[in-house]
Amino acid sequence: MAKAKDVNKDLQILIDKAMQYAGVADVMKVYGDYQQILQATRDYFSAMDPQLMLSTTDSSS
């Protein structure tokens, strides 16, 4: 568990340093918004995927 805390702490330090550069916060916000849109539309797009349909008939009579 200590390693996970160290990784999370290192990640937060990296994010804090990156946020000091111009435009990074804007890009992260746009990416977050994009991810929310993808999540919201995922069910719709999966419903629109082509689906296999089979039909059989009996013509022996």
For 42-58, the pLDDT digits (tens) are: 888 888 888 888 888 88
Determine, yes or no, domain membership for 56.
no
Residue 13 lies in a domain: yes
pLDDT number for residue 57: 86
Alpha-carbon span 7 to 40, nearest angstrom: 30
Whether the CB-CB separation of 40 and 46 falls below 8 Å is answered with no
7 within a domain of the structure (yes/no): yes
What pLDDT, in 10s, does the model give residues 1-53? 668 788 999 999 999 999 899 999 899 899 999 999 999 898 888 888 888 88
Instruction: Report percent pLDDT > 70 for the chain.
Output: 95
Residue 55 counted as domain residue: no
**Tokens encoding 32:** 């977050």
Backbone angles phi, psi at 57, to 5 degrees: -135, 155
Q: What is the pTM of this model?
A: 0.51
Q: How many CB atoms lie within 10 A of CB 28?
A: 13
| Domain interval for residue 22 | 2-38
Q: Does a structural domain hold residue 19?
A: yes
The reported pLDDT for the residue numbered 55 is: 86
